[in-house]
Structure 1
């Protein structure tokens, strides 16, 4: 007897969606080499092809492979099938009355360890500050910040994630495009760019959102791209990494990057710095300054910058100025005095101008350069300590409006 049974067929699985092409704008040399190998470039040619792509991406600011005329057309086509030169999107632009520009940049969702996007497109801010003889770009190293410094607006935004080296470099690429700093581009007609020198962006400071040394590897790789002489070609003496004092990473920063160092000090006593910069509880002032004394490359020609925000009635007395001088003895240093930049809900006020001048005179008369940083971009919340994602601010206002 023959029996038969019917077995329901399992429907075929739908094809998995193809991941979007990866951008090579902001890639390292090793990443470019991997991309070329993946499209069949022979190993013997890869070094030459990397050099070609590098110059097109970072010196010429190329936005498509088609413009790379010294790259064979079939290779350009293969690259275009698998990769792009897309930049993150500029979600908003603000221009201050003093020429400072702030860009809100929307990043692509970042994959987690399973390859799936772990955010819906985070946002960061970077700021361009033009002066007559230079242009400084302040870049972010993290989405948000984990340090919760009490005087800093960015510190009120929770840390979302680290930025990749590519996302850090993309901030410079975007800024150079926006202000016409690549060959063949037209600068803005507002007359607010530097009038001396050949480059609109000559200096980079890691003073935007985040603590750079909590994202050390990506910051290190980004500095290498920024300072590569065949591309963006910024002098390492014009790249400054600012830290609140992640002591274990300082020696690596000096020996591996050659970048200039800035320390967010802001107090001369541990009890006060514990409140202003909570990281001080982990790495107190004495430990931090000892690491500065042994910082690789520090000299009178490569002085460490100590940033000191002036808070009315908090840290601005003559006695504290004299103690600052005592603490820094033996360190090749300059002190940047920063008038506090207010932000909505800030618990501090800026020191009075005569108080700042008296503080500066004490430091200067002790033999230290003590410039008072001119506040820039205050009207667009782009000044030091004011950076915070525009989206976060809007969401906070919406929550307040909806509250009973």
Structure 2
């Protein structure tokens, strides 16, 4: 016996409730759900109306920075110095909702909060924290993070940017590439080789000899900013040095934080792609029936929800461990590798349900699929995270 109680494609709350097959929502506290609701409302009001146009024009809406500061998502899980001091799970939920809007917007929050602010918070002096973090948390100052170089992506130990002593000052020379936000930032955290190993420096973007070139003609992350930096004997005072960061441990700690946000964020892009496909399949009719009534369409929807539920549980598990102080970086590598890989598959499959209409930017899956190709690459490629896990399993480093 069957019944026809077709779900309303416009009742998004009912669709989301039905899609939470495992009842994951029940695992969240009231405070966590309130944070999610607040960020989701911001995305609906401030990001969804403009994102298709921003992506099409290759435009990052910098005017969102103070609004995101007021929302409390910049340096969200950092303590003190004007930072929001929220839990890791709340930050994860915020990252998920922001990336449901667009990966580029979530990337801004990650570069600002996890990479730039996180480096200053963990490795800076109290004076540096007092000077920069409150304004960055409000979105009044934008920061960027300079690690990757034209010839050193997956192997940051091969960086050639160099800082040498000159009296009490430092002279910075070299280049960085694929650096988010630098063309609109006031401050960049730059990692450079020194006679004492890798060190971190706070470099004002208006310093003489600091040159920024914005990377154009991208097929992905178009509502985001990526740049190339050139340092032509940039003179920095002794106070620019992050005093507590020595070696690659400094930048790697920031990358770990950013990777954690990705584990959650990509599930937002995947969920939005799935929901777009589900709503479309309920409304679109072919052969006298909604395409949601066909077995092949239902198989695609089911496969997407299975991976969404698994990915959400994985992200929540890592978040709980992070809040408990028991999270290991190798666990983040597993999460980043798995969730990004599945998110791309979901976005691509969702696009097929939309047929030819799916290539139009009024529908989100193709934009998410394109963006996720970048997310798959940055903060560690699939290959890098595979080798991190391989070393964990075998005890043998296979990087060289």
TM-score using structure 2 length = 0.24
Please identify the structure whose Cα radius of gyration is greater: 1
Question: What TM-score comes out, normalization by structure 1 length?
Answer: 0.24
More helix by share: 2
